[in-house]
Structure 1
Amino acid sequence: MTTRLPLILLLNAAGLALFLCWYLPVNHGFWFPLDATIFHFFNQQLVKSDAFLWLVALTNNRAFDACSLLAMGCLMLSFWLKEDKTGRRRIIIIGLTMLLAAVVINQLAQHLMPVKRASPSLSFPNIYRVSELLHISTKDASKDSFPGDHGMMLLIFSGFMLRYFGKKAFGIALLIVVIFAFPRVMIGAHWLTDIVVGSLSAVLIGLPWVLMTPMSDKIIALFDRYLPSKSNIPNTNN
């Protein structure tokens, strides 16, 4: 794959502009009223509807995080089942490359973005906490919520789906982003902008250099060369 430098720079500029339009204005400009309104709307629903309370509690339990991994795995499995032995190995290696890219981009974003803020559930007085209303294990707060690492991973997954599996897979991946990232906003563990500004801007800046250059293909080729396969593992039964 050739490097698509103009498009990479355009996406980088979009990511930087998105971050700066939130970061530079006093009190984050129009973003803060939007964040606050969304948080207070969902926070009030916690005491208005038992069904909603249990929904956000269960979808922010650690077990539900495993469901997000299962959803991503099932999407990749749908392509894996259609492939021969070589194609199946390649899909597994694409998954490993995606995981490596996610770790690197997440670490860079966490260290390079000059932001540290607590979640809305720790920022406003006189609000409701799911963990206090139900006394069950659920993530309803974070001392450092920006950028949203969960949302970032899901967006990186979406980018890999578009690059290697096509637009239909990308559309399904975006649906997975909404289903598994936004419960964090509904419970108050993240601000909306932790995802739509923090996660998205980091992905727009970092991921194009992986997927729109030969980098990801070279990493896949490197894994393919050095990772063992059944064909080159010695048979100890002979």
Structure 2
Amino acid sequence: MKNRLPLILLLNIAGLALFLSWYLPINHGFWFPMDASIFHFFNYGLIESRAYVWFLAITNNRAFDGCSLVAMGSLMLSFWIKEQAQGRRRIMIIGIVMLLAAVIVNQLAQHLMPVKHASPSLFFPDAYRVSDLLNISTKDASKDSFPGDHGMMLLIFATFMWRYFGHKAFAVALIIFVVFAFPRVMIGAHWFTDIAVGSLTAVLIGMPWILLTSLSDKTIALFDRYLPTSQNKV
């Protein structure tokens, strides 16, 4: 813990600096032109291609969120099938602790970050909405989009992959993050900074205290001790 404390504090400072670089300047400084440009770049495409509209509608449907769970589960499964009974049990417990950490960090971020704003699809009066162009259920707007909770959950998954399964798993998890988080930005349900600032800030401040201390390891050990085990009866 003592050896990692400088790194933890450095990551916390980086997260705080990232947030303040967006929060303190009037109209969010250089971040707002970037946000607006990214939104309009993707939004104008809605009137140019029907296939693009369908693509965004499908990738922001709640069923597609289930695909992200399948992708994350498949990555963990690739490690689970290589293990014996005890190793498989540990991977399942890591998954439980990861979910617990994700809920706690997400709730703290939602309540402690002094920000509430609507998504760009609601902010810009000239914005095109996928839900207006297609009769299909899709998430293309939010009255409170900061921080991006979906992106935050995916980033937390990536940090657990790095901590317990290595750099290759972390790289795959980052690909999963991009594939499943950025369609929210493309459709206008989130600003780019909802994820690049909001989600990342929460992860940089919250996750080091979980993964770079003994907290996650001790929680896994605690669950391993008290959760029931399946025993084969003779």
Q: Determine the structure 1 residue equivalent to 2:84.
A: 84
* Matching residue's letter, 1:23: Y
* Matching residue's letter, 1:12: N
**Cα contact 1:3–1:212 (8 A) shared by 2:** no
* Matching residue's letter, 1:139: K
SS in 2 for 1:228: coil
Q: Determine the structure 2 residue equivalent to 1:64.
A: 64
How much does 1:50 deviate?
1.3
Deviations 1:186-215 (A, max 9, x none): 000000000000000110000000000000
1-side partners of 2:98 and 2:2: how far apart? Answer: 19
Alignment TM-score, normalising by the size of structure 2: 0.98
1-side partners of 2:122 and 2:225: how far apart? Answer: 48
Confirm whether residue 180 of structure 1 aligns to residue 169 of structure 2: no
Q: Determine the structure 2 residue equivalent to 1:118.
A: 118
Confirm whether residue 142 of structure 1 aligns to residue 142 of structure 2: yes
1-side partners of 2:3 and 2:100: how far apart? Answer: 20
How much does 1:51 deviate?
1.5
Q: Structure 2: any 5+ residue segments left out of the alignment? A: none
Alignment TM-score, normalising by the size of structure 1: 0.96
2-side partners of 1:21 and 1:135: how far apart? Answer: 39
Confirm whether residue 8 of structure 1 aligns to residue 8 of structure 2: yes
* Matching residue's letter, 1:179: V
Q: Determine the structure 2 residue equivalent to 1:157.
A: 157
How much does 1:71 deviate?
0.2
* Matching residue's letter, 1:148: G
1-side partners of 2:165 and 2:3: how far apart? Answer: 19
Structure 2 counterparts to residues 1-238 of structure 1, below 5 A: 4-231=4-231
**Cα contact 1:141–1:190 (8 A) shared by 2:** yes
Deviations 1:146-202 (A, max 9, x none): 000000000000000000000000000000000000000000000000000000011
1-side partners of 2:3 and 2:40: how far apart? Answer: 45
**Cα distance change of structure 1 residues 2 and 96 upon mapping to structure 2, 3 Å threshold:** farther
Deviations 1:25-71 (A, max 9, x none): 00000000000011111110011011111111000000000000000
1-side partners of 2:6 and 2:102: how far apart? Answer: 23
**Cα contact 1:3–1:213 (8 A) shared by 2:** no
Give the % identical residues.
Answer: 75
How much does 1:3 deviate?
5.8
1-side partners of 2:183 and 2:163: how far apart? Answer: 27
1-side partners of 2:163 and 2:120: how far apart? Answer: 35
Q: Number of residue pairs matched? A: 234
* Matching residue's letter, 2:144: D
2-side partners of 1:154 and 1:220: how far apart? Answer: 20
2-side partners of 1:129 and 1:52: how far apart? Answer: 12
* Matching residue's letter, 2:146: F
2-side partners of 1:152 and 1:160: how far apart? Answer: 12
1-side partners of 2:128 and 2:119: how far apart? Answer: 13
**Cα contact 1:2–1:214 (8 A) shared by 2:** no
